[in-house]
Structure 1
Amino acid sequence: MPPFCLTAVRWRTHKGNKQCKSAREQSSELMGYVRELTIVGLMDEKPMMIWAAHYLSALAKALMDDAELGMMC
C-alpha cells in the first residue's frame, strides 16, 4: 500500500473559468508521460517505471474527471 492517497481531492474546477481547459491540457500532458514511462519500463525491464506510470495515469484520470464535472455544472 503506498504511503499516499491518490483519491484525496487536491483541486477543484468550476464551470465558467479557464481551469477546465487547463486541467484537460495538463491531463493530456500527464498521459504523454505515462506512455513514455510505460514504454521505457517495458523495454528496459524496470518495473518501478511501470508502477510510476500506473499511479500517474490515476492522477491524470482524476484530473480529467474533475475537469469534466466542472464543465457540466
Structure 2
Amino acid sequence: MDQYLIAFFAFTLSLLRAFTVVMLAWFTLRQLDKRMGFVFKVWWDKADDKAKAHYLAARCFAVFLAFSICMA
C-alpha cells in the first residue's frame, strides 16, 4: 500500500509542476503582449493564414521549451 501512496504523491507533484509551468508561460506571454501593446483579437481578425501559423508555432515552441526546462 505504501508504494501506491508514494506513486500517487509523485504523480500529483508532477501534475502540479506541469500545471504551474503552463500557467507561468501563459501569464508571461500575456504580460509580454500587454507591454508591447499587442491586441490579439484585432490582429487575429486581420492576419493572414501564414502569420497565424507563425504566431501559434512560436507560442507553442515557447511553452514547450519552458515546460521541458522546468520538468527536466
TM-score, length-normalised on structure 2? Answer: 0.42
Greater helix content: 2
TM-score, length-normalised on structure 1? Answer: 0.41
Highest CA radius of gyration, 1 or 2? 2
